[in-house]
Structures are given as structure tokens and as C-alpha cells.
């Protein structure tokens, strides 16, 4: 199901469903913290922030996600990589309560 999400978003935009797609993306917010701005810049090109904000992972698992995303074509500097990985590891750790939806 996750694999279909970016396609669904792109299809929605193409078909003029941009309002619906935008609403979904905006109702789910990432907690504030250092690295959040870098994440917003580097990680929202292909899918909404909701794909990320609803996840809870350990630092090791987030590093794995980062590798997979770079494999998909995500681009960022080394500094941004460090900042984003650190942000994910604290702001979206398993102990953080789920982001509502
Ligand atoms: C070049 C496109 C692209 C960029 C940029 C990108 N992603 Fe993704 N992302 C994908 C695709 C495609 C999927 C769905 C396939 C998959 O899960 O690997 C996805 C899925 C995900 C998932 C869900 C994985 C799961 O197992 O449910 C997370 C979390 C995620 N991305 C985080 C990130 C983060 C963090 C960044 C910024 C570093 C990022 N993405 C940037 C393409 C991208």
C-alpha cells in the first residue's frame, strides 16, 4: 500500500485533485526541532510529509530509510543528511506518541 502512495498523490495532482492532496499533507505536522527545515526541503519532493510523520523508528531504522530514499534519488548535502537523520531519530522515535489522523 505504501508503495502506491506517491503515485496516488501524483495522479491526484494531475487529475486536478490538488486540493484534496494538499489537505492531507497539511493536517499532519512534524514536531518542531533542529533539522525539520532541512527535512521539509529534502524529503517532500516525492511524497507528502505524512508518509514520514506517521512513522516511528529507531535511529538505526531511520538511517536505513535515509539510504533507501537516497537510492530513490533524494538529494541533500552531508550536513543536511546529518541534521535530518538526527531530527528523525529524536522527533520520530518509537517512544513519541503517534501523530494523529
Ligand atoms: C526521489 C524521491 C524521494 C525523495 C526525495 C524522498 N523519498 Fe521517501 N519515498 C520515496 C518512495 C518512492 C517511497 C515508497 C517506496 C518505499 O517505501 O521505498 C518512499 C517512502 C518513504 C517512507 C515510507 C517507507 C515505509 O516503509 O513505509 C518514508 C518513511 C520516507 N519515504 C521517508 C523519506 C525521508 C525522511 C526523505 C528525506 C530524506 C524522503 N523520504 C525523500 C521516494 C522519495
Considering only CA atoms, which residue is closest to atom 27 of ligand 1? 2
Residue 29 lies in a domain: yes
**Å from CA of 101 to ligand 1 middle:** 19
In this prediction, residue 99 has a pLDDT band, given cuts at 50, 70 and 90, of: confident
Mutate to test the pocket of ligand 1, among 28, 35, 65, 75 (most ligand atoms within 8 A of CB): 65
* Cell numbers for 61: 531504522
Q: Which domain holds residue 75?
A: 2-91
**Which atom of ligand 1 is least distant from the CA of 74?**
5
More confident residue, 94 or 24: 94
Domain assignment present for 98:
no
Domain assignment present for 96: no
Average pLDDT over residues 64-88: 98
Q: Per residue in 43-59, pLDDT tens? A: 999 999 999 999 999 99
Residue 19 placed within a domain = yes
- Alpha-carbon distance 49 to 70, whole Å? 16
Q: Could you tell me if residue 82 is inside a domain? A: yes
End-to-end CA distance of the chain: 17
Give the total number of structural domains in the chain.
1
Do residues 39 and 65 touch, judged by C-beta distance below 8 A?
no
Predicted local confidence at residue 3, as pLDDT: 64
Alpha helices in the chain (DSSP H): 5-14, 18-27, 36-43, 50-53, 59-72, 78-91
What per-residue confidence (pLDDT) applies to 89?
98
For residue 1, pLDDT over 60 is answered with: no
Please give the number of the atom of ligand 1 that sits closest to the Cα of 42: 37
Residue 101 lies in a domain: no
98 Cβ contact list (under 8 Å, min separation 6): 54, 56
Q: Is residue 6 part of a domain?
A: yes
Q: Give a yes or no: residue 65 inside a domain.
A: yes
Which of 44, 53, 69 for mutating ligand 1's site (highest number of atoms within 8 Å of CB)?
A: 69
Amino acid at each position: 500500500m505504501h508503495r502506491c502512495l506517491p503515485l496516488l498523490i501524483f495522479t491526484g495532482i494531475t487529475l486536478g485533485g490538488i486540493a484534496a492532496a494538499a489537505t492531507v499533507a497539511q493536517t499532519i505536522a512534524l514536531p518542531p526541532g533542529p533539522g525539520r527545515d532541512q527535512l521539509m526541503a529534502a524529503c517532500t519532493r516525492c511524497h507528502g510529509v505524512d508518509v514520514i510523520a506517521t512513522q516511528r523508528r529507531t535511529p538505526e531504522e531511520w538511517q536505513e530509510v535515509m539510504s533507501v530514499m537516497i537510492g530513490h534519488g533524494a538529494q541533500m548535502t552531508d550536513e543536511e543528511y546529518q541534521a535530518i537523520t538526527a531530527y528523525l531519530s529524536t522527533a520520530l522515535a518509537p517512544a513519541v506518541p503517534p501523530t494523529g489522523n
